Structure 1
Amino acid sequence: MTDVTAAAQHSFTINLSILFTELPLLERPAAAAAAGFTAAELWWPFGADHAPSQAEQDELRKAFDDAGVRLTGLNFLDDLTKGARGTVSVPAESERFRENVPVTAALAESFGTKALNALYGNRVAGVDPAVQDGLALENLVLAARAAHEVGAILLIETLNKVESPDYALVTAEAAIEVVDKVNAATGLGNARFLCDLYHLARNGEDPAAVIDAYADRIGHVQIADTPARNEPGTGELDVEGLLARLTAAGYTGRIGLEYKPSTGVSADSFAWLPRELRAAK
């Protein structure tokens, strides 16, 4: 990115579940700080088969505190390593999701985290999609209320059908519909759209048109270049233009860096973003 004007209008947060993965999780906040970042986000950082112990939570909190990095975003329970794409709408996982809701909310409160992402889940063979959608609404209502209690928003995300062909929400319109249903059910208005520009582009949608249509319901933005999901400037996506469009549309939230470093070395992937713009505003 040679013209940094668009980037300068935004505050950035680095996703430590996809960046600095060459390091153990507890070392990543310090690595982010060394690269100039003061805010980070995580997918669900603990094992999916158990609730995190107090010691595990304390270790994670200490790693962030010692590094001087804020945890600005956190996912509810998920296990991406097994091909799952969320537990919200999956009948066999519903109990685990509901048990995780207060755990995630309490963890977010202790960190001061204000954005909680709930991945919708894959379609399940033999299960009526309407049944899954009804279950998802019930679970998202619980999540939205729990998020509200700790002063956080609930994020609903579109993934792309190339990498996640069974995921239920593969258009911005589908995610927005869920956002609107959750807000109507709770009356809280804290369900928001997680606008991931990479996933939108990989789905063949026009990210600029999505921004124009749904800016008022965007709660968070994540970026990666297409098609390889590397840092901006390595592919086909006009990240600079889209950041400028977000500014023009009135978006003032954070921009999450959720990409894979093209060289495999995270510290080498930030040249597109001048160091003075990396610290969160």
Structure 2
Amino acid sequence: MLRFSANLSLLFTELPLLERFQAAKAYGFDAVEIQFPYELPAAAVQAELGAHDLKLVLFNVDADTLLQGGEGLAAVPEKQSQFKAAVAQTLDYAQLLKPEAINILPGRCLNPSRLAEYQQTFQANLAYAADVFADIGVTTVFEAVNSHDMPGFIIDSSLKMLSVLAAVGHPRLRLQYDIYHMSRMQEDCAAFITQHIDKIAHFQFADCPGRGQPGTGRVDFANLFDLIAGVPYQGWVGAEYKPVGSTTDSLGWMKNSSGKPAL
């Protein structure tokens, strides 16, 4: 049976962040993930997890201005000191919250002539972060993001993910595979999952092209969820979509996929 986590940065946003933990549990989730939890004290997050018997399975290292149109943090050569400070902040949270994985967003390169330099910086920063988080038993992951939504993103395909993974070669570095982003790039998700499941430590999903819940686009989730359930994968599958309608009305896919009721 698949294990689904609710991404509280996109789901239950009808509620303040601290109230989303209880909502996630009430609607059948045993785990949550948060893109950037740093607006809350780590102790407050820990208290909500304990109160509702939830596990926080994943969150991201800070990405600076990436979501506001900037280049981000992890690949910018001039920001390596800032990146290390962000890793230290994440480490403080991870020591208390004990996630299974920490995600690092590669970011954009807005000057194509510097792309190789940005790629080298990202690989060096990945290796640094993987060392830091391995010391507390946490896996480091990174992901590809489609270049339609984020033009200039330095990793926008499965092949580029594999290339970086091989180049860094760290034993505690794996992929976060996002079904939405790779579907948006018209990739064959089923083929990649079948061939490379040993390299994937976390999944995220949304339908494509609108990034809504399963059933609002063209992705064959029945097939993909069956595939993930049938391969040797013990991690979590993160619901990271933008609900069409209310979050609670968007959860019909859960009953068909996991057997848990969409209350």
Same fold per superposition (TM over 0.5): yes
Larger deviation, residues 174-183 vs 110-119 = 174-183
Which residue of 136, 141, 147 corresponds with 1:161?
147
SS of 2:38's equivalent in the other structure is: coil
SS of 1:128's equivalent in the other structure is: helix
TM-score normalised by the chain length of structure 1: 0.86
TM-score normalised by the chain length of structure 2: 0.91
In the alignment of these two chains, the number of paired residues is: 259
| Match in the other structure for 1:179 | 165
| Match in the other structure for 1:270 | 251
Deviation at 1:277, TM superposition (A): 4.1
Deviation at 1:256, TM superposition (A): 0.6
| Superposition pairs of residues 50-89 of structure 1, within 5 angstroms | 56-78=41-63, 79-84=65-70, 86-89=72-75
| Superposition pairs of residues 139-218 of structure 1, within 5 angstroms | 139-183=125-169, 186=170, 189-218=171-200
SS of 2:119's equivalent in the other structure is: helix
The 2-side partners of 1:104 and 1:182 are apart by: 21
The 1-side partners of 2:211 and 2:188 are apart by: 17
Deviation at 1:18, TM superposition (A): 1.0
Question: Please, what is the CA RMSD of the aligned residues?
Answer: 2.0
The 2-side partners of 1:157 and 1:230 are apart by: 19
Distance verdict in 2 for CA 1:134–1:30, change over 3 Å: same
| Match in the other structure for 1:95 | 81
The 2-side partners of 1:86 and 1:277 are apart by: 39
Identity %: 32
The 2-side partners of 1:86 and 1:72 are apart by: 23
The 2-side partners of 1:62 and 1:137 are apart by: 35
Assess if the C-alpha contact under 8 Å between 1:231 and 1:269 holds in 2. Answer: yes
Assess if the C-alpha contact under 8 Å between 1:85 and 1:119 holds in 2. Answer: no
Determine whether 1:228 maps to 2:210: yes
Deviation at 1:85, TM superposition (A): 6.2
Which residue of 239, 254, 275 corresponds with 2:236?
254
The 2-side partners of 1:170 and 1:107 are apart by: 28
Assess if the C-alpha contact under 8 Å between 1:230 and 1:262 holds in 2. Answer: yes
Deviation at 1:232, TM superposition (A): 0.8
| Match in the other structure for 1:27 | 19
Assess if the C-alpha contact under 8 Å between 1:12 and 1:278 holds in 2. Answer: no
Deviation at 1:248, TM superposition (A): 3.5
Deviation at 1:17, TM superposition (A): 0.8
Amino acid at match of 1:174: K
Distance verdict in 2 for CA 1:148–1:277, change over 3 Å: farther
The 2-side partners of 1:23 and 1:215 are apart by: 35
Distance verdict in 2 for CA 1:277–1:154, change over 3 Å: farther
SS of 1:117's equivalent in the other structure is: strand
Deviation at 1:204, TM superposition (A): 1.2
Q: Which runs of 5+ in 1 are unaligned?
A: 1-8
Q: Which runs of 5+ in 2 are unaligned?
A: none
Assess if the C-alpha contact under 8 Å between 2:42 and 2:97 holds in 1. Answer: no
Determine whether 1:245 maps to 2:223: no
The 2-side partners of 1:225 and 1:169 are apart by: 20
Assess if the C-alpha contact under 8 Å between 1:197 and 1:221 holds in 2. Answer: yes
The 1-side partners of 2:162 and 2:51 are apart by: 38
Distance verdict in 2 for CA 1:126–1:168, change over 3 Å: closer
The 1-side partners of 2:112 and 2:164 are apart by: 22
Deviation at 1:254, TM superposition (A): 1.1
| Match in the other structure for 1:44 | 36
Assess if the C-alpha contact under 8 Å between 1:86 and 1:118 holds in 2. Answer: no
Which digits, 9 at most, give the CA deviation of each residue in 1:233-252, with x for residues without a partner?
Answer: 12110011012222343223
Which residue of 3, 7, 19 corresponds with 1:15?
7
Larger deviation, residues 248-257 vs 173-182 = 248-257
